[in-house]
Amino acid sequence: MSKKKEILYHVIFWLLFVGLEQLLRSITIDKNLNTTWSILQNLGFVSLELLIFYINYLFICPKTIPNKKWRLLIVAQFGLLILFPAIRFFYEEIILFKIIGYHNYDMRDLTSVYYIYDNSYYSIRIMLFSLVGYFMKYLWNTSAQVNQLTLEKKQAELLALKNQLSPHFLFNSLNGFYSDLYDTNPKVADDIMKLSEMLRYVTYESENDMVLLKDEVVFLQNYIDLFKRRFDGGVAVTFTHPHDTGMYKIPSLLLIHFLENAFKHGITDDFDSPVTISIKTEAGRLIFTTTNKYRVTQSYDEHGIGNKNISQRLSIMYPENHSLVLEQDAQYYNVTLNIPLS
């Protein structure tokens, strides 16, 4: 849902909600009430409804519903149930009383329990409206994102079919080259085997949304080895990763984008400042970092298509539960990715 459309829906809702509420007040309100007090009380009450609605809609719901933190959501609703009458009491019975000299409730017999109970209708009502509004927005956006991903996947599959050369032919050919060179030129044979493994991984594993972290690590290592081979070992790069990654899974072909960028834009022949790639697993999360020195004349495009696609993919898969930080100073470019492990 676009921001303009969302704002329009909110304006329509509040015009109808406040309009009907004011119509009801005009029918039921005591005509003998002080007019100034009535106007100020009404303005404060509507402002309080707006405040509670958007605290729930803009802060509580986005932090709890996408991450399925239902206990925290329930606790927060009870908090709003107390906050509503607390603010109303402070405004009407303290501030307005000092200004107008008029109480809304009989203060002699008023208790906090009764005041909260008497206001529960208004507080629960506005909380429910905000919850329903957020759920509608969340379902709308989720449906749109799923449809967009489905469309992009179908387009990618169609493009792959148009450009497809039988993978079995490629793998069999590479395996044949490997066998021919195994005895005479083992280094080249080893490179051919790595290339075959990479092609197999890209061809088959990319069809899956999630892959084993250990397979992704092997894929990155093979990529680095072939890149070094291409430049006769004159590549300054360090790659650290845990030796035991268990059965953790991550989105397929997620990390290669950042590795390619580091090699493409970074200075790869400076052994005093090598390209650094690091993978860590901590508390059920993946922390992936790349650091590379770059030439002053070469600047990264942080808003390029690749980064946008990665950010969109992460937002869909891990809403409110990931971080992707891209930092650039005068000499170095740093990427830090933090996502939950499956």
CA distance to 89, 224, 248, 254, per residue, from 310 (Å) = 49, 21, 20, 7
Could you give the CA distance from residue 16 to residue 24 in angstroms, rounded to a whole number?
A: 12
Q: What is the DSSP letter of 232?
A: T
Sites in the chain below the pLDDT cut of 70: 1, 26, 28-34, 154-178, 180, 182, 205-207, 296-306
Total-model pTM: 0.52
pLDDT at 166: 52
Fold for 231-340, please state it: Heat Shock Protein 90 (3.30.565)
Give me 319's structure tokens.
């809403």
Tens-place pLDDT, residues 22-54: 787 767 665 555 678 788 888 888 999 999 999
Cα 56–chain centre separation: 19
Give me 255's structure tokens.
């990390």
Backbone angles phi, psi at 110, to 5 degrees: -80, 130
Residues 229/188, Cβ–Cβ less than 8 Å = no
Question: Counting every residue, how long is the chain?
Answer: 342
Q: Can you tell me which residue has the tokens 């990931």?
A: 322
Could you give the CA distance from residue 38 to residue 22 in angstroms, rounded to a whole number?
A: 12
Could you give the CA distance from residue 249 to residue 214 in angstroms, rounded to a whole number?
A: 8
**Burial level of 277, CB count in 10 A (0-12/13-18/19+)?**
buried
CA distance to 86, 101, 112, 281, per residue, from 98 (Å) = 17, 6, 20, 59
Give SS3 for 164: coil
Domain with CATH 3.30.565.10 in the chain: 231-340
Residues 313/300, Cβ–Cβ less than 8 Å = no
